[in-house]
Amino acid sequence: MLARLLRWWRQLTAMRTALMLLFLLAVASIPGSLLPQRSLSQTNVNRYFAEYPTLARWLDRLFLFDVFSSPWFAAIYLLLFISLIGCVVPRAIEHGRSLFTPPPPVPRHLQRLPEHAELSTSLPGAAALDVVEEELRVRRFRVVRREGRSGPEVSGEKGYLRETGNVLFHLSLLALLLGLAGGKMWGYEGSILVTEGQGFCNSFQQYDTYRSGPLVSGGDLTALCVNLEDFEAVYEQNLTAASFTADISYDVDGGEPVARTIGVNDPLRLDGDRVYVTGHGYSPEFTIVLPDGTALTDLSAPFLPTDPGTLASQGVLKVPDLGTGATEQLAVEGFFAPTGVVQAGVLTSVDPRPLDPQVAVIVYAGYLGLDSGLPQSVFSLDQDQIDRGSLNEVGRANLAVGESTTLPDGTVVTFSGFKEFAAIQVSHDPGQVWVLGASIAVLAGLLGMLLVRRERVFARVIPGPDGGGTVLSVGSLTRGSADTGPRFTALIDDVGAALATRAAQGPAAAPPLSEEAPPS
């Protein structure tokens, strides 16, 4: 049993297994980008269920609408952690030991190395090796001089940063995964549509959609409140958006409000929190005058864009409280066109800018069911209530700003104007700095792996064949590069030139060499 567990552990902690799990994690993430995810938009998931009911049920059983919180994705993630830890940590320890280990002895058959050369010189063997050692130290080799089996020899090695980059890359990859996991566990994200002149506070109860980690509770949220003072969208001549800017005021922990302008790529950055503008649209405003003269003013609701190019939008204004004595509730369902054009009796929009705002409305009267305890969308009516007769159509009209329609009971509905709204997202990710640092370290390690070459050079001297002078034998072994000839040729040329210069100078003493060169 123990032998089987050890065999399984070796297989799990092998680098090949870690690479396979990393590839499998990337493949497992694909459904999360192709299918709507509940953590991002429950509305899109509901729409998918409505369009493909049978397929959606099967996909839901496989957690494909909750990919990143599914058990099988967590299993791959956990196995990848274990595999990386099991293969990288021992490798890092071994590399740490190798930093203090001298270069290996010269191979017995030096001439069998990929790069090999022999130089004859009149210098004695010790002086010839002094030249080789000096040239290697100039090239930042770590050099060791020994008395080998076949006589004096020199071993030089450099390129330790290649293996350091390899270890740094994998350790940083592990740190990156830990940072992402920590951000998911302790992070949260909430989105809300805010109309100009309105605001919100950082609370799960106020957000339209939100996502929070399993270790986050409502009391952990930053005490942040934001008010949208004004929103401005600028468009190019081809009607593509050039910029979105929102003038906001915010306060933290009930402090003094601070004014700030934010944009799509210029969020509000607080300690651990980010406030982004992710979109915008329009909120039509209505005035309702009841038959008894009671006026309800400044009634508005955000209409969601259905056409991003023209910002044609749909939505509904629900009015449950019509004042004392009112037995019915009203709902104004509408289509808003920023630049309205009526074609064949149908209102449409031709420009996202509010050049000629118009709205097509259908007014319903009856019971909205807001107090029934059943959840319902604030952006649409419950079709079941219309089918059951709880809501009945009492009027419809196309209205420009200032125009009205009168219902059968004498109620007047006036399209009084519009305001813009901004889609604001509050994000808290405690792992952001960790992920950024790990990403930079991953790139640094990758550069070390690609740019640094691990290289060893060996040299040995033997007496000349005629009993005079010395034969210097030099060999090179380089890892991670097939084109080592020019580097070795340059080394041999420099050694040969130095040998000739030293021989011409006579037996003068060579300058002393340092004991050790720093590893590179």
Residues 301-319, mean pLDDT to the nearest whole number: 91
Structure tokens at 469: 């002078």
Report which of residues 519 and 376 the model is more confident about.
376
Residue 271: HSE in the Cβ half-sphere, 13 Å Cα cutoff: 6
Angle, vertex CA 290, rays to CA 323 and CA 339, nearest 5: 115
- State the distance between the two ends of the chain, measured CA to CA, in whole angstroms: 45
* Statement: residue 166 has pLDDT above 90: no
pLDDT digits 0-9 by tens, 24-50: 888 988 988 888 887 666 667 877 888
> Would you place residue 378 in the very low, low, confident or very high pLDDT band (cuts 50, 70, 90)?
confident
Angle, vertex CA 379, rays to CA 374 and CA 384, nearest 5: 50
The answer to whether 367 and 391 are in contact (CB under 8 A) is yes
Q: What is the pLDDT of residue 17?
A: 84
Write down the residue that tokens 């967590």 correspond to: 74
Distance between CA atoms of 457 and 389, rounded to whole angstroms?
Answer: 91
Instruction: Calculate what percentage of the chain has a pLDDT beyond 70.
Output: 93
* Statement: residue 226 has pLDDT above 90: yes
Q: What is the pLDDT of residue 421?
A: 93
Specify the range with the lowest mean pLDDT, choosing from 86-95, 298-307, 386-395, 420-429.
86-95
Distance between CA atoms of 219 and 47, rounded to whole angstroms?
Answer: 32
Residue 20: closest CA among 70, 87, 68: 87
Residue 369: closest CA among 387, 343, 347: 387
Angle, vertex CA 14, rays to CA 12 and CA 20, nearest 5: 75
pLDDT digits 0-9 by tens, 101-114: 888 888 888 888 88
Residue 315: closest CA among 275, 278, 360, 270: 360
Q: How many C-beta atoms lie closer than 10 Å to residue 399's C-beta?
A: 22
Distance between CA atoms of 199 and 426, rounded to whole angstroms?
Answer: 13
What secondary structure does DSSP assign to 286-315, as a single string? EEEE-TTS-EEEEEE-PBEEEETTTTEEEE
Q: What is the pLDDT of residue 390?
A: 86
Sign of the alpha-carbon dihedral angle for 216, 219, 223, 229: positive
Residues 360-367, mean pLDDT to the nearest whole number: 92
Residues 109-123, mean pLDDT to the nearest whole number: 87
Q: What is the pLDDT of residue 517?
A: 45
Q: What is the pLDDT of residue 292?
A: 85
In angstroms, the Cα distances linking 364 to 85, 305, 313, 332, 502 are: 63, 22, 19, 6, 104
Note if the pTM is more than 0.75. no
Report the chain's mean pLDDT, rounded to a whole number: 85
Residue 420: what residue type? E
DSSP helix/strand/coil, 54: helix
> Would you place residue 516 in the very low, low, confident or very high pLDDT band (cuts 50, 70, 90)?
very low
Domains of the chain: 2-98 (no CATH), 110-158+453-505 (3.30.160.110), 188-428 (no CATH)
